[in-house]
Structure 1
Amino acid sequence: MRTRHGNLLIALVAVVLFSFSCFCISRMTQTSNQLINCRNRILEFKEGILHLKNRTERNRQELIKALNKIKYEITQGENISVNSVKKKVNALDRNETTPNAFEVLKFFFPHLRKVGRIYPDVIIGKEKTGVSFALGISTVDRGNRSYLKQTLTSVVSRMTLSEEKDSVVIVSVSDSNEDYLKSVVDMITKKFKRQLKSGSLEVISIPAYFYPNMLHTKQSTEDSQQLESWRIKQVLDFCFLMLYAQPKAMYYLQLEDGIIAKKMYLTKITDFVHKITSKNWFYIEFSILGFIGKLFKSEDLTDFIRFFLMFYKDKPIDLLLGDLFQVKMCKPGETLEKCTERNKQIRIRYKPSLFQHVGIQSSFPGREQYFKDIYY
């Protein structure tokens, strides 16, 4: 009986052990399969990481190439050769569908009607627009005397950084002498790199085909003929510069290449303009001399330019400015004194003057000029 019970116990133990062994083998097999699956997933993950790494490296190489290309193009743009000034055509000149303010010139000068699209040669410029102030400086060769660097240093250095960002100074080389153009470009690229890079300073050149034949004057002497041609050309130089500057800014300030500016001059101009209650002002004089320091609203420049072009052969531009004021603002039969008194809110003079004339050698060959602004 005991033997029988012992055999049953042994059999039961054997069954339990067998069942447990089967269970263990099953779990081990399942675990092994899970480990294999896990290993396969790890391998797939490693392959994905490797692929991503290779892709990232390719992207990095492409990015490096793109950055190097950009650096090269910037370097090429900044390294302007004095020996070979490359004249860049403005985008407006290539786009025939874009309105061109210079088309008005064809109405006054028949010889321009045969020309395609009229536009200045943009020597250095980033086509900066949407600013508050455009400052125009026309320059010509004065022989051994040049005041342009002194003028630009004064005008640029006496702006704040925020004012510099909100303005553009345009130097218009109104001279057919290529050597003078190259000397101006060389001086500006060396002395005013930051302003050129930011687009706050531009250099343009007026194309020779713009000027009409000014040799047929009615004067009796050769000197008077030269003086008459010089005055005519000066009016046209200012008109061309105004046409270029008009779409760039809200206000246009006319300067010359032989002046100095007072400290914080642009801050004073801005504050003064904002304090004027009347929005119907004609122009503002920030210097009493000639055409220096005259501030215009850009939207009004078209009327000024057309008037100057109508009478460019008759008077210097500062006298034409006075004539235009009388034509537009004075009533028929009214004296100039009465008209001026009545329109003080339209023709405004700021004191003290913000600009002083410093050049002695005139742009007219052989002439010296010593006039000064007594209110500076």
Structure 2
Amino acid sequence: MASQRNLKVTVVVLVTYSLLQLQLMQSKDKMSASSIQHLRNHELLTAASSVNKDTKEQHLDSTTMSVPVQRSQCGSNVTLLLGHQRQNRGFLTIGLCTVPRSKASYLKDTLHSLVTRMSEADKKRVVIVVFMGYHNESITEETLRMIKSNFNHTLETGGLQVVQPDISIYPNLSKITRRTFNDTLQRVHWRTKQNIDFAYLFGYCEGISDYYLHVEDDVVAATGYISDIETSLSNQKRLHNQWFVLEFAGGFFGKLFRSSDLCMMKTYLLLFQVEKPGDWLLADLKNIKLHDSKKVKHGKRLFKHLGRYSSLEGKIVKIENKTAIKVITGRF
């Protein structure tokens, strides 16, 4: 049995490596000779983040430079419904997927928190992307009206974009019958679709800013969270720390990545969309990229869950104790 498991792992790694190489070869982004050599000499997934990495690391203050936004095929199959793309590359893109919940909607409160708890200067170099992971016409129109009514100024300034994927990106989930981790088929289908949504959100956001922050549609941010994130980045650079993700919350939200890693992350989630939940796949990626769990960097806790009702039908989320959260940050 052990040898069979080892063989399976070897096959999976080889397949992943081959597909990632193919993706990189087909990419329209130009790779330097040193990046190509890096791909040949290092382990799986390490090269994808090397494209333009040094240039992006130097761009902590996007207000002092004008770098054009560059789009690639990584962001295909996603349509912009509201807002517009800024001409110049920003400091940070905040991405979130939203889907309807049967008993509540937290999107308005989440967007209000993200927008109002950053400074006016930050608003000029931060873009929020809302990924609508559904195609129900009436719910789509209702959500778009709510966003236009409450966040029109942010839309007009390019600080908020609302996007929707082509329905063709989704497989027939009912044909997925294999269960893993003893999850019900309902949960397997839910987490598979969630991985697909995350993947295409990553792809769309790849060229907008230097960094990408992943949140959810039912969280609240701490006041001044952008400043804390930038301070954490400056500290990593000052200490010459290697990092793949900076963590500002638990689960799969409050996670900061380099935008240069997003296409690789999209490929990885699509390859293993049925195998594991997204946060578990992220844990695998951290191990591959860093080889040492001690190199995972944890910053201040800047986000907490707001919603009680999960997007998984019937699941109730345990809300964190508000008093305890205040003790941790003092700013929620």
Letter in 2 for 1:232: T
Mapped to 1, the partners of 2:319 and 2:308 lie a distance apart of 9
Mapped to 2, the partners of 1:178 and 1:278 lie a distance apart of 49
Equivalent residues in 2 for 1:27-176 (5 A)?
99-102=72-75, 118-128=76-86, 129-176=88-135
Letter in 2 for 1:369: V
Structure 2 residue aligned with 1:327: 288
Q: How much has 1:279 moved relative to structure 2?
A: 5.5
Mapped to 2, the partners of 1:199 and 1:146 lie a distance apart of 24
Structure 1 residue aligned with 2:161: 202
Q: How much has 1:311 moved relative to structure 2?
A: 1.1
Letter in 2 for 1:119: N
Structure 1 residue aligned with 2:151: 192
Structure 2 residue aligned with 1:179: 138
In proportion to residue count, which structure has more helix? Answer: 1
Q: How much has 1:302 moved relative to structure 2?
A: 2.3
CA offset digits 1:13-65 (Å, max 9, x no partner): xxxxxxxxxxxxxxxxxxxxxxxxxxxxxxxxxxxxxxxxxxxxxxxxxxxxx
Mapped to 1, the partners of 2:102 and 2:201 lie a distance apart of 22
Equivalent residues in 2 for 1:165-314 (5 A)?
165-219=124-178, 224-276=184-236, 277-278=239-240, 280-288=242-250, 290-314=251-275
Q: How much has 1:101 moved relative to structure 2?
A: 1.6
Q: How much has 1:219 moved relative to structure 2?
A: 4.7
Q: How much has 1:100 moved relative to structure 2?
A: 1.6
Q: Is the 8 A contact 2:244 2:289 kept in 1?
A: no
- Asked if 1:372 corresponds to 2:325, the answer is no
Letter in 2 for 1:359: G
Q: Which runs of 5+ in 2 are unaligned?
A: 1-70
Mapped to 2, the partners of 1:245 and 1:368 lie a distance apart of 30
Q: How much has 1:372 moved relative to structure 2?
A: 3.1
Q: How much has 1:369 moved relative to structure 2?
A: 1.0
Q: What secondary structure, in the 3-state scheme, does the structure 2 residue paired with 1:256 have?
A: coil
Equivalent residues in 2 for 1:343-358 (5 A)?
344=295, 347-351=296-300, 353-358=301-306
Letter in 2 for 1:263: T
Mapped to 2, the partners of 1:199 and 1:155 lie a distance apart of 15
Distance change in 2, residues 1:216/1:295 (3 Å):
same
Letter in 1 for 2:218: G
Q: Which runs of 5+ in 1 are unaligned?
A: 1-97, 103-117, 331-338
Mapped to 1, the partners of 2:172 and 2:104 lie a distance apart of 28
Mapped to 1, the partners of 2:125 and 2:148 lie a distance apart of 21
Mapped to 1, the partners of 2:269 and 2:176 lie a distance apart of 18
Q: Is the 8 A contact 2:307 2:319 kept in 1?
A: no
Structure 1 residue aligned with 2:293: 340
Q: What secondary structure, in the 3-state scheme, does the structure 1 residue paired with 2:129 have?
A: strand
CA offset digits 1:61-105 (Å, max 9, x no partner): xxxxxxxxxxxxxxxxxxxxxxxxxxxxxxxxxxxxx74224xxx
- Scaled by the length of structure 2, what TM-score is found? 0.71
Letter in 2 for 1:199: G
Q: Of 356, 359, 364, which aligns to 2:307? A: 359
CA offset digits 1:252-301 (Å, max 9, x no partner): 0001000000000111111111121226311100002x111000001122
Letter in 2 for 1:281: W
Mapped to 1, the partners of 2:159 and 2:305 lie a distance apart of 23
Mapped to 2, the partners of 1:122 and 1:303 lie a distance apart of 22
Query: Structure 1: which 4+ aligned runs deviate by more than 6 Å?
Result: none
Letter in 2 for 1:297: R
Mapped to 1, the partners of 2:73 and 2:200 lie a distance apart of 13
Mapped to 2, the partners of 1:329 and 1:219 lie a distance apart of 31
Mapped to 2, the partners of 1:214 and 1:127 lie a distance apart of 32
Q: How much has 1:247 moved relative to structure 2?
A: 0.4
- Scaled by the length of structure 1, what TM-score is found? 0.63
Distance change in 2, residues 1:311/1:271 (3 Å):
same
Please report the RMSD computed on the Cα atoms of aligned residues, expressed in angstroms: 1.8
Mapped to 2, the partners of 1:175 and 1:327 lie a distance apart of 32
CA offset digits 1:133-173 (Å, max 9, x no partner): 00001100002410000000000000111100001001111
